Structure 1
Amino acid sequence: MKSPLNPARVDFVTLKLFCAIVQSGSITKGASECNLALSAASRRISEFEETVGMALLDRSVKGVTLTHAGHAVMQHALRLFQGFEQLSNELGEYSKGVKGHVRLWANMSALTEFLPSALASFLKDYPEIQVEVEEQLSGDIVRALMDGIADIGVFAEGPITTGLETHIMGKDQLVIACSKDHPLSKRKSISFEECLAYDFVGLNRGSSLLELTSRSAEKLGKQMSLRIQVRSYDAMCQMIAVNLGIGVLPIQACAAQIKAMSLKAVQLEDVWAKRNLLVATKAGINHSPATKLLSQHLLG
């Protein structure tokens, strides 16, 4: 029987390299991020796996992925780095004000509508806190919070949030956007089921909004006719403006584009068209002071 892992044989440079490789999906990229030669990085990972006594990475021509054992190592490594980051943040609280670094992941609606003014006022009050913002899909935000890659997530309700502490930040009203020449432009409100008779413009696969509308169509025993899929609300509005289809959009986030492109916003009558926008952090851990401050600020 193999003896337990000796912590003294695992150094932080190797752990940092391991995390960089996993997050980039490539040993080459991970080595570059850690300023190591590829040969040195490969040797460190091989020696790490030998120390552990099992493979941590599955290697292929497409890159690397985690084995089951690798997942366990990744979780513990992230917790270690999070602990050191928290220690650094707490030691950095001096008379000049709170210092720290917060990784904030948010979906497109939150970044467009809620976060600009909230972040501006927060950073004015706490100029020595660095907020690293990334736009991501709601499902990816949940996974990043659970994996310790993000500190705070802001996203529309829908994904399963088990293991997270969530609070409602605001409301997200969905509407049907169509061109002024579209048959639906004369309507003031409409059910989603009626809309399924027409072609749609949607976001790319993986979007929480696409998942929500597709799932709603399936519950009605129908399918959405997606004529085209794009990556942003702005692109959706442009396609809708030239009559390539109608689209489901959050009115608060897209009001400017809808007005600028002379689109018509028709209210959706379905209950699910009124979504909550959530602020979430991982439950059961002691977050850094900077993370706690930003979370409280976003919730008003």
Structure 2
Amino acid sequence: MHFDLTDLKVFVCIAEAPSLTQGAKTAFVSPAAASTRLKNLEAQLSSRLFYRHNKGLELTPAGKNLLRHARLMLQYAEQIRTDFSGYAADTQGHIRIYANTTAVIGFLPEILALFLAERPAVSIDLQEQFTKDIIRSVREDAADFGIVSGQIDAPDLQRIHFSTDRLCVAVPQGHELAEHTAVDFQAALAYPHIGFHRGSTLQQYVDEHKQRLGVSTKNRINVSGFESVCRLIEAGVGIGIVPESVIERHRHTMAIVAVPLDDPSAVRERSIILKELDALTPVSRALIERISLHMQAPPPISFQAAFK
């Protein structure tokens, strides 16, 4: 059985897109050519890969199975091209990263800006996801690596710890909680809160604690970035639960105070998770090293050895 890599690439692009037209555009082929390639794949596999309906395409069980294999085959093909390309491998390539909210709108923008400025030929696909989706995507090779915080149940994945942060209650200067040495969730939730939009991993963390404590209050306002949260807190609109590193970044320009959150889960170990470091492309390994160094946490000895 012979597989054309272009057929597989087109199939993956369509599977990850909302429609055949959009998937064909991503794969740089016409919709007609994409449709022909899909039909050829279905004929070769004697399996229907998509259910076709008026809202678009939906993967069949066979299609989901092929998607898993196709991603692996394309990843291996890309690695072969990289290994035999003859150019500085860590200066070209594409990286897909799934990360939590703190990483996406916290420290990653600065790191990626510097990294990409040094490597004009590198492209990065960064997506904000829930922790469970990050773990699943790394397992299924849908992402090169993921960035998570806190404890995770994924013994089958490699984990590289690169920094430690702590969740705090951010309050405006003069707030009655500002003089407290610590505050627990129950006390913090008694005040109006500035939160994050649905889909934020940090908001999910807070909502889970609300559910555990039987608290049903809604956020006074939801925003999408840490700076917006801090500015609203400074203005006295409410308080919020944010990483200590975020408050430290803004406390010199905003009248806000960090009050430690008295909860065991408030200490957040930030880690990179991946299937196998040696299997990643050189540019992916270079970015992982950059993240570790930027966050001032030296990579583990085993990790450093991979770059020698």
Shared fold (TM-score, shorter chain, > 0.5): yes
Write the deviation string for residues 143-193 of structure 1: whole angstroms up to 9, x where unpaired. Answer: 332232321222213554354211211111111112235432343321111
Task: Decide which of 192, 196, 204 is 2:189's aligned counterpart.
Answer: 196
Structure-2 residue corresponding to 1:269: 262
Structure 1 stretch 186-195 or stretch 130-139: which is displaced more? 130-139
In the alignment, the residues of structure 2 paired with residue 163 and residue 260 of structure 1 have an alpha-carbon distance, to the nearest angstrom, of 43
Normalization by structure 2: what TM-score?
A: 0.81
23-32 vs 136-145, which deviates more? 136-145
- In the TM superposition, 1:18-167 aligns within 5 A as 18-93=11-86, 98-105=90-97, 106-111=99-104, 114-115=107-108, 127=119, 130=122, 132=124, 134-139=126-131, 140-158=133-151, 160-161=153-154, 163-167=156-160
> Secondary structure at the residue paired with 1:54?
coil
Equivalent position of 1:228 in the other structure: 221
* 1:242 Cα deviation from its structure 2 partner: 3.4
SS of the residue 1:69 aligns to: helix
Give the aligned partner of residue 15 of structure 1.
Answer: 8
CA contact (8 A) 2:139 2:275 kept: yes
Q: Deviations over 1:31-79 (max 9, x none)?
A: 1122322233223223322332232223344433322211110111111
Residue 217 (1) aligns with residue 215 (2): no
Q: Secondary structure at the match of 2:215?
A: coil
Query: Which 5+ residue runs of structure 1 have no aligned equivalent?
Result: 1-6
Alpha-carbon separation, structure 2, partners of 1:259 and 1:159:
33
Is the contact made by 2:247 and 2:258 (CA closer than 8 Å) also made in structure 1? no
8 Å CA contact 2:194, 2:221 repeated in 1: yes
Q: What is the TM-score when the length of structure 1 is the normalising length? A: 0.83
Q: Name the amino acid aligned to 2:262.
A: E
Residues 218, 67 of structure 1: CA spacing in aligned structure 2 closer, same or farther, 3 A cutoff? same
Check whether the contact 1:93–1:99 (CA below 8 A) recurs between aligned residues: no
Residues 90-141 of structure 1: CA distance to partner in whole angstroms, max 9, x if unpaired?
11355x57554251523342356554675578679x8587352514134343
Contact 2:150–2:267 (Cα < 8 Å) also in 1:
no
Query: Is the CA contact (8 Å cut-off) linking 1:170 and 1:278 kept in structure 2?
Result: yes
AA in 2 matched with 1:33? T
Residue aligned with 2:272, SS: strand
Task: Give the percent of matched residue pairs that are identical in Structure 1 and Structure 2.
Answer: 27
Compare 175-184 and 290-299 and name the one that shifted more: 290-299
Letter of the 2:71 counterpart:
L
The range that moved more, 168-177 or 205-214, is 205-214
Partners of 2:135 and 2:146 within 8 A in 1 = yes
